[in-house]
Chain A
Amino acid sequence: MRKDYNLEKRKYIIGGFIVVIAIIYIVRLFMLQIVDTDYRRFAEGNAFLKKVQYPSRGMIYDREGRLMVYNQSAYDVMMIPREVKEFDTLAFCNAIDITKEEFEGRVKRMKDRRYNPSYSSYTPQLLISQMSAEEYGRLQEILYKFSGIYVQNRVIREYKYDIAGSLLGNIREVSSSDIENDSYYKAGDYTGDLGIEKSYEKYLRGEKGIEILLRDSKGRIKGEYENGKYNEAPISGKNLTLSIDAELQEYGEYLMQNKIGAIVAIEPSTGEILAMVSAPTYKPSSLVGRERGKNYAKLVKDKYKPLYDRTIMGVYPPGSTFKPTQSLIFLQEGIIKPSSSYPCHGGFISGRLKVGCHPHSAPIAMKPALATSCNAYFCYGFKAMLDNRTKYERTDEAFTLWKDYMVSMGYGYKLGIDLPGEKRGFIPNSEYYDKYYRKGRWKALTIISVSIGQGEVLATPLQIANLSATIANRGYYYTPHVVKQIQDSEIDSIYTQRHTTMVESKYYEDIVEGMRMAVTDGTCRIGEIEGAEVCGKTGTAQNPHGRDHSAFMGFAPKNNPKIAIAVYVENAGFGATYAVPIGSLMMEKFLNDTIATDRKPLEERMAKSNTIIYSGVKKH
């Protein structure tokens, strides 16, 4: 046995250590609990009432500095269940205009931890949200009769322009998953839902403040704890300036009434979105206040899906608006020259395959082909590229290159707009066709329809508008975005980076010429605006669900373009009948602020016409 008696003495040091610490702690307890009476005083009665002070939510302005969204006061009724004594339910219900059953239901829901996980009978719980000032006034008069009932000031949204519902989004009460994912939220808080309110929530919401009040045993407020030393003032949310022009947006919604579709207008030099209309639209004000629930359910049930933001979620066949991209690829790859001509005898014919076309002079060169929207020209070009065995070893190699070009022009992937829910559209790649037709079993003719924007390819109106902006810029674009400025902060740097496509700038000039020709001599003649040199391209997209979709993509003026636009009207027939006039009117409104007198009848015809009836959706 090994035992060192010298070392054994050290047990006294270790034992002594814990004893000394224990004495220090007991002395400390004595000071805290017996000598110092402050602590007892604080805690006597019920001590503190922590009152949350809600910040005012950031306001939203349009690009001209016009106020679009601001705040108004509303009042939440809070209940501290432990403090509720005799309760005159009838008087209470009369004051705030609800039935006894409704009141009982709300109390039950408040106490149910499935809906209200942080329920405690000691802290204020939300009973009724968003009373109007008038109801608050009536309740205020009799509030003294109800112990345990408090009123909390809240802010809710108010709209100067009651437009752009899906773009702006709205605010709703947080769900239990919001509370779980972000410790900022407590039950009864609000958060942004859809649109800008959602994507810029972190900026708009600000920071909650807290006021710690002392109460006596009867619940009466006795002032602030330590003169407000631990209070925190709320910090207001940041204001946003949108790139949207509120009046242009309003005008777009006016033109799109009784139609299904979308308009996206972009300032090419910055990527700032000037207007984005998703039709049918809804008034954002309908989703504020106590009617929110009812109105929201109505929108969800609506057969025309107004909550579905077609500008970024609608994926459509781009149709002929796709043709400029094809010209660009063929030019860059040296497959064609601007002067190259292809024949067209009522369409593209190869063996038993025929892609129809409308009458025009033939053979035809590239610019007139764009102007008249000749299908055959692009089918020949596409076949020439994919079948070119001197340049590319195999069809799939050529097609992969084609896909890379499309991706560089902003197709096939999300562009990255600052709004929630953007769809990526669809650009097939070689693997897709390898799977679909088996490897090596497909060639240019198999997939010829992608060259005219039909078949598998799908794009969002935003992507089509972005193509227009890219052509207006002669070969580059900025990621489209709707927020121009954030108070005390900068917008994300991805919106200030220039994206250059794989096609050289000089080839874009030829496309611009072709699109100009479409307006002067081609399919877009109705789109010309006096003195603006409009460039454009129509689209008439076949779709399996009914009448063709009417599409237009264009920009103006030709030199130094100020606005680029895409218009897509579902089931409205030829591009020239609806999409071109609407797009042209939008550009005129933006460039000239007014519509020329001789175009007033056109404006009226567009606004009055109803194409929703062709949608095949039966309205109940």
Chain B
Amino acid sequence: MASRNTNINILSQIDKPTLVLYIILVLWGWVTIYAASYNFDDTSIFSMDSRAGKQLLWMGLTTILAFGILSIDHRKFEAYAYPLYALTILILIITIFIAPNIKGSHSWIVLGPIRVQPAEFSKFTVALCLARFISTYNFTLKNLSNLVKAILLIIVPALIIILQRETGSALVYLAFTLVLFREGMSGLILLTGVGSITYFILALKYAETFWGITCVGDLLVLTLILSVLVMMTTSRYKRRGVFKIMLIICSSIALISGIINIFTPVNWVYTLYAMILSISIYTFILSVKSNTIKLLLPIGIAAASILFMLSVNYMFNNVLEPHQQSRIKVSFGMEDDPRGVGYNVNQSKIAIGSGGFFGKGYLAGTQTKLKYVPEQDTDFIFCTVGEEFGFVGSTFLILLYVSLVLRIITLAERQRDAFARVYGYCVASIFIFHIVINLGMVLGISPVIGIPLPFFSYGGSSLWSFTILLFILLRIDASRTERGY
């Protein structure tokens, strides 16, 4: 039969570097789960009572699943993209109603001894659907209605998942903005998004830190705004000397403030306002002199950013209730919460920090064994790597993840058709989001959002979900020569 030949063909065509990275990560994840749930009394890594044993079972099933995906005709993914999406939405909605309350979340369907989280599987169907939509003939994201439709495709499942009280999983859908960016969405939108989040976190995180009478949060945000303003003006007005003049303006304002500071304490926030105002006026003069409208944009962005900063402060202090403020602060790691999130992150840092350069050795970590780190075999599993394999091991793991992501981007870019490329970027973006947020959380940098580390965190749903995502890409990539014409 032809299909058998195709199967053999596919195995030889499959991208080897990705496959090797995948196998290393899954196996390393498995031994780490064993280490994280190890307590010196359990005997075997294969024991079905242990989480490692259960993970092994999941891995076995995953292998079958992976072969299953590889045997599917590569054109089918495109063909079934829309029906699969519709089915996903339906299942997600049903889940809200039939899922039992598990730690406040209504996202698990319980089938006998097995618990499945449909939100995990919606990632690949949304990715397929988005890829199909964007690869429509003559499609461009420069068209506003197309952009809105694409965003709706992404946001609808995310909202349903929020209704299931799984905000962490819903936030993963933010990752698709990277795909939209690659496919032509204006970089300004991405910049605005990233900028707003950065401003928001900085403004809040350092809102109560003061240098003298200067509020550090405002100072940092204004410095960022000033930098963006200067950079945009220089890049838009391509003539020498502009940057130098702006530097002189800022230095003189700084100098004046410094002199005043000798006599009376200066609020450096006002100094920065003065700088931004002066640079804006200078930019405006340049714009009028050279008759270039596009120079007004940096001024507008600076003004909008300042407004945003002020409104964040106002909203936070005057609109939100104290307990809501506290909750946001705790989840951004700005407030100590010895019993909850704050304590966890602190313990996680201690576990990682205690690993040193080479680590304590496999199964020799005391912090994770003493159960000080919560969720140590799921969301916080990177602690165990940090503690037992040290700086060397953790860095190596991060490099493995970076290689995987870069390889996926390469695969995406080498596709001849838009569907395959967009799907590839979807996979890359989801991995990027999970890796960045999970590691950032464990390292105490990013907010605490409970999402798994791909292939490492214990759990069948997430292992399956990441495997499906990746193997559909591998399957399509294996047939890339037949596609696109």
Contact = CB atoms under 8 A, between A and B. Distances in A.
Contact of B432 (A18, A24, A25): A18
B339 A42 contact: no
A42 B178 contact: no
Contact of B352 (A22, A38, A39): A39
Contacts of B371: 120, 122-123
Nearest to B141: A7
B484 A121 contact: no
A32 B439 CA distance: 13
Given A18-B432, A39-B352, A122-B369, A33 B418 contact: no
A123 to B, nearest CB: 7
A141 interface: no
Nearest to B39: A120
Which of A10, A18, A26, A42 has the largest count of B CB atoms less than 10 A from its CB?
A18
B50 interface: no
A14 B440 contact: no
Interface string B394-436: 1100110110011001001100111000000100110010011
B445 A28 contact: yes
Interface string A568-592: 0000000000000000000000000
Given A4-B184, A15-B409, A29 B339 contact: no
A246 B437 CA distance: 61
B253 interface: no
Contacts of B432: 14, 17-18
B367 to A, nearest CB: 5
Given A4-B184, A14-B182, A122-B39, A33 B406 contact: no
Nearest to B103: A183
A302 interface: no
Interface in B318-352: 338-339, 343, 346, 349-352
B153 to A, nearest CB: 20
Interface string B34-66: 000001110000000000000000000000000
A29 B390 CA distance: 9
Contacts of B263: none
Chain A contact residues: helix, strand, loop or mixed: helix
B356 to A, nearest CB: 6
Given A14-B428, A120-B371, A47 B391 contact: no
Contact of B405 (A1, A18, A29, A32): A18
Contacts of A115: none
A438 B241 CA distance: 104
A29 B391 contact: yes
Nearest to B139: A2
Nearest to B442: A25
Given A21-B436, A44-B354, A10 B391 contact: no
Contacts of B409: 11, 14-15
Contacts of B436: 18, 21
B338 A230 contact: yes
Contact of A1 (B346, B416, B428): B416
Nearest to A226: B346
Contacts of B402: 18-19, 22
B357 interface: yes
B413 A8 contact: yes
Nearest to B413: A11
Interface string A107-143: 0000000000000111100000000000000000000
B443 A28 contact: yes
B443 A25 contact: yes
Interface string B356-371: 1100000000110111
Given A1-B416, A32-B349, A33-B391, A121 B39 contact: yes
Contacts of B391: 29-30, 33-34
Given A2-B418, A8-B413, A10-B182, A29 B351 contact: no
A10 B485 CA distance: 24
A42 B439 contact: no
A123 B435 CA distance: 33
Contact of B40 (A36, A39, A82, A230): A82
Nearest to B439: A25
B455 to A, nearest CB: 16
A232 interface: yes
A46 B370 contact: yes
Contacts of B428: 14
A90 interface: no
Chain B contact residues: helix, strand, loop or mixed: helix
A43 interface: yes
Interface string A65-108: 00000000000000000100000000000000000000000000
Interface residues of A, number: 43
Contacts of B118: none
A46 B390 CA distance: 18
A48 interface: yes
A122 B394 CA distance: 26
B349 A48 contact: no
A29 B366 contact: no
B353 A40 contact: yes
Contacts of A45: 366
Contacts of A44: 354
Contact of B353 (A18, A36, A120): A36
Contacts of A47: 350, 354, 366-367, 370, 372
B210 interface: no
A119 B213 CA distance: 53
Contacts of A25: 398, 439-440, 443, 445
Contacts of B417: 1
Contacts of B351: 43
B270 interface: no
B352 A7 contact: no
Contact of A123 (B182, B367, B370, B440): B370
Contacts of A8: 413
B447 interface: no
Given A29-B443, A43-B367, A14 B354 contact: no
A4 B181 CA distance: 13
B40 A46 contact: no
B365 to A, nearest CB: 9
A230 B339 CA distance: 8
A7 B370 CA distance: 51
B370 A29 contact: no
Given A11-B409, A11-B413, A33-B356, A43 B350 contact: yes
B386 interface: yes
A47 B390 CA distance: 18
Nearest to A46: B366
A1 B485 contact: yes
B183 interface: yes
Contacts of B439: 25
B395 A29 contact: yes
B368 to A, nearest CB: 10
Contacts of B416: 1
B298 interface: no
B355 interface: yes
A1 B349 contact: no
B349 A39 contact: yes
A22 B399 contact: yes
A30 to B, nearest CB: 6
Contact of B41 (A2, A48, A121): A121
A103 B138 CA distance: 81
Closest 7 CB pairs of A and B: A39-B353, A43-B354, A32-B353, A33-B391, A230-B338, A22-B402, A28-B443
24 contacts: A7-B183, A10-B181, A13-B181, A14-B182, A14-B425, A19-B406, A25-B398, A28-B443, A29-B352, A29-B398, A33-B352, A33-B386, A33-B391, A34-B356, A40-B353, A40-B354, A43-B366, A43-B367, A46-B366, A47-B354, A47-B366, A48-B370, A120-B39, A121-B40
Given A7-B183, A39-B350, 18 more contacts: A2-B418, A11-B409, A14-B428, A15-B405, A17-B178, A18-B406, A22-B402, A24-B445, A28-B445, A29-B352, A32-B349, A33-B394, A36-B353, A46-B366, A48-B372, A121-B41, A122-B39, A122-B370
